[in-house]
């Protein structure tokens, strides 16, 4: 009798452990999880500004519905700290967190585990694209059914030959990859100035939609530059009218004069 009681107790303990592990795994593997670097903390309005690892864009994390007992002390966070948040999107700019924690291993893995290659075909009916992997030269089917559309390009506008990076995880079939995010491959140099005359990397200072330009402070010179976006490739660029002061961007194009740059492509 005592042995049966002990076995029952042991089974209950193991079951509880498995449920706990499953809960942790679910939290860490949340398809909407946001991982990034803290930009600022606003305790009065209950939000944190975070630069997203995937897009480089700054989002607000609304902490009003956060489970404080299962989260880190967000009010002790400082600019530069790293975090992961799980929850759901309130809109395109605000993420409503139910939990905020140190960077989650699974969240980091789904970002770093990437596939880079050129688009071979797009199948909207079956919701996948095929990509020729740069590393192996093999054709890979990229499943985009669970892709986060807020943080990805519009994959149905991709064309054969476009260079893209898909982040997510490999399926059991190594010829298939499940994407969480799909973005254009980063081929732009990460410097600006005399060493890269056709590229500017800088911080957004203002946006003027009426006159079709925005201004950035060039990281190389510290000088403000007017970016003319009238001839920009909108299909391969971010939506510049959604840019905010402080966003860091990379612009490919050419100089019209000393303080006027004509953009061909704008990205984070």
Do domains 113-184 and 199-267 share one topology? The answer is: yes
Which pLDDT tens digit goes with each residue over 1-36? 555 555 655 555 555 554 444 444 433 445 568 888
> Band of the pLDDT at 52, cuts 50, 70, 90?
confident
The rounded distance, in Å, linking the Cα atoms of 145 and 121 is 16
Upper half-sphere CA count for residue 172 (Cβ side, 13 Å): 0
Residue whose entry in the numeric block shows the structure tokens 């009065």: 44
Q: pLDDT tens digits for 59-83?
A: 899 999 999 999 999 999 988 888 9
What proportion of the chain, given as a percentage, has pLDDT over 90?
32
Q: 34-106: which CATH topology?
A: OB fold (Dihydrolipoamide Acetyltransferase, E2P) (2.40.50)
The string of DSSP letters for 179-198 reads EEEEEE---S-S--BTTBTT
> Top-level CATH class of 113-184?
mainly beta
Phi and psi angles of residue 256, each rounded to the nearest 5 degrees, phi first: -90, -40
Instruction: Name the residue ranges covered by the structural domains of the chain.
Output: 34-106, 113-184, 199-267
- 138 burial level (CB within 10 Å; 0-12, 13-18, 19+): exposed
| Fold annotation for 199-267 | OB fold (Dihydrolipoamide Acetyltransferase, E2P) (2.40.50)
CA atoms within a 13 Å half-sphere pointing along the CA-CB vector of 210: 0
**pLDDT at position 114 over 50:** yes
pTM as predicted: 0.53
Range 77-103 average pLDDT: 90
* C-alpha distance from residue 201 to each of 20, 37, 189, 204 (Å): 45, 19, 9, 10
């Amino acid at each position: 009798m005592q042995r049966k009681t002990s076995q029952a107790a042991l089974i209950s303990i193991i079951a509880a452990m498995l449920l706990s592990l499953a809960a942790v795994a679910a939290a860490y593997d949340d398809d909407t999880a946001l991982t990034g670097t803290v930009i600022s903390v606003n305790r009065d309005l209950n939000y944190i500004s975070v630069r997203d690892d995937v897009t480089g864009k700054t989002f607000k994390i609304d902490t009003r519905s956060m489970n404080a007992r299962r989260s880190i002390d967000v009010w002790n966070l400082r600019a530069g700290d790293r975090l992961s948040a799980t929850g759901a999107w309130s809109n395109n700019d605000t993420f409503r967190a139910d939990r905020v924690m140190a960077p989650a291993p699974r969240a980091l893995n789904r970002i770093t585990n990437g596939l880079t290659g050129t688009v071979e075909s797009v199948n909207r009916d079956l919701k996948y694209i095929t990509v020729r992997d740069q590393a192996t030269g093999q054709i890979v089917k990229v499943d985009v059914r669970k892709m986060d559309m807020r943080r990805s390009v519009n994959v149905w506008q991709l064309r054969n030959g476009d260079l893209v990076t898909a982040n997510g995880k490999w399926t059991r079939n190594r010829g298939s990859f499940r994407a969480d995010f799909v973005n254009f491959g980063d081929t732009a140099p990460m410097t600006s100035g005399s060493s890269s005359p056709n590229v500017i990397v800088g911080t957004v200072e203002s946006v003027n939609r009426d006159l079709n330009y925005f201004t950035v402070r060039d990281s190389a010179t510290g000088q403000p530059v007017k970016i003319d976006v009238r001839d920009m490739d909108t299909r391969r660029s971010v939506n510049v009218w959604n840019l905010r002061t402080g966003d860091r961007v990379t612009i490919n194009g050419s100089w019209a004069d000393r303080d006027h740059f004509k953009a061909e492509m704008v990205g984070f």
